[in-house]
Amino acid sequence: MAAKFNPWAMAQEQVDAVAKRIKLDPGIHQVLRNPRRTLTVSIPVRMDDGSIKVFEGYRVQHSLARGPAKGGLRFHPDVTLEEVKALAMWMTWKCAVVGIPYGGGKGGVICNPKKMSQGEIERLSRRFFFEISAIIGEDIDIPAPDVNTTPQIMAWMMDTYSMKSGYPAPHVITDKPLEIGGSLGRNKATAQGCFYTIQAAAKKLRMPLKGKKVVVQGYGNAGFFMAEFLKGAGCKIVAVSDSQGGIYKATGIDVAAAKKHKEKTRTVVGLKGTTKISNAEILEINCDILVPAALENVITKDNARKVKAKIIAEAANGPTTPEADKILNAKGAVVIPDILANAGGVTVSYFEWVQGRMGLWWDEKDITERLKKIMDDSFAATWDTAAKEKCDMRTGAYIVAMKRVADVTKLRGIWP
């Protein structure tokens, strides 16, 4: 029987490999491979039937070297502390590679919100945030939504913190509704940032986007906006998919029609004029650009050789396994790693925090321009590092990120 995948062990192995490559000081290496702070809490919640159920939740702060911890809170039955520790570490590298002044954090509650009422979810959200509030604050740790959490849940959590503090604290959390301090442009920020990295990669490869065939696996928020941005750049979206399966059309899919069909039927499958394909088959379609925007570990050693795309942009977290990475790189594909490709979301979350601290709100044009500059600069730094180190883009991104965190850690020193 195969050993169960351990994301924390994988995250530490990634750090160890890059630390060895850049000859990182052993002491700093030990600091970077361990979380700064780990909190486990019990969350008693009164259920709708009057009973009390106790849930377990976590908040992990991997690093505070470059600024407050930043990262989402997820509600899912499979949440584990090992997973949360890994995700917190990966958030450190994601924030560092795009140069925003945050460290990495992550949190989660073991629960199944799909089997809970709205009232139960609200009570769980408020009590969980109350329990972790001892290590939360606008200068300490700024959470955000993640799997199965929403802007509404962020609003409840912000209100809980504000009521406890005795003053409004809208900037203690990000990705809130616009009415209580959310930022314009946040709903499409992950896709927009990813699109900018694809533009930059295509320019480096001297590959004009007009007429290029694109496949998008995952047609949620990020997947739809990715399709929309790429179509706007002249690309032909030949296939998209969701959890129910995929659709293919050689002459190009109407992305807006696919979205409307999904909203009506809960899946893109069955859109008139398209052919149904599986989520496995969609990855192997002959295309120029592949955007995995759904689940982790979908490109593996078993299918990587069948992937034909020249550019693979990881809008999802961890869609490519380490074994698949080696195969794709050997084939000459450009894999834009998740810590860079999907960092647009946390970047605009940073913008929301800045706007909240200033009490001054930017228009969407300002946000778009600032996001593009950050993504372009971050892509260039990663590309140049990969070229200099003669390595793939993922390793290049990790080198950029770890050097930035290591340099700050050295400058600040170890106290006392």
User: How do strand 213-217 and strand 141-145 relate by DSSP bridges?
Assistant: unpaired
Catalytic residue among 70, 85, 94, 106: 106
Cis check for the bond before 416: say yes or no (omega within 30 of 0): yes
* DSSP structure string for 133-177: GGG-BTTTEEEEE-TT--HHHHHHHHHHHHHHHTS--GGGS-S--
The one-letter amino acid code at 379 reads F
| 103-113 burial: b if 16+ Cβ within 10 Å, else e | bbbbbbbbbeb
**What residues form DSSP beta bridges with 56?**
42
| 1-17 burial: b if 16+ Cβ within 10 Å, else e | eeeeeebbebbbebbee
Ramachandran sector of residue 78 (left: φ over 0; alpha: ψ -120 to 50; beta: rest): alpha
Q: What are phi and psi of 118, to 5 degrees?
A: -60, -40
Cβ partners under 8 Å of residue 301, min gap 6: 321, 323, 324, 327
Q: Alpha carbon of 9 to those of 5, 324, 400: distances in Å?
A: 9, 18, 21
Q: Alpha carbon of 7 to those of 31, 178, 321: distances in Å?
A: 18, 34, 11
- 106 classed as catalytic: yes
> What DSSP state is assigned to residue 373?
H
Q: Write out the catalytic residue numbers.
A: 106
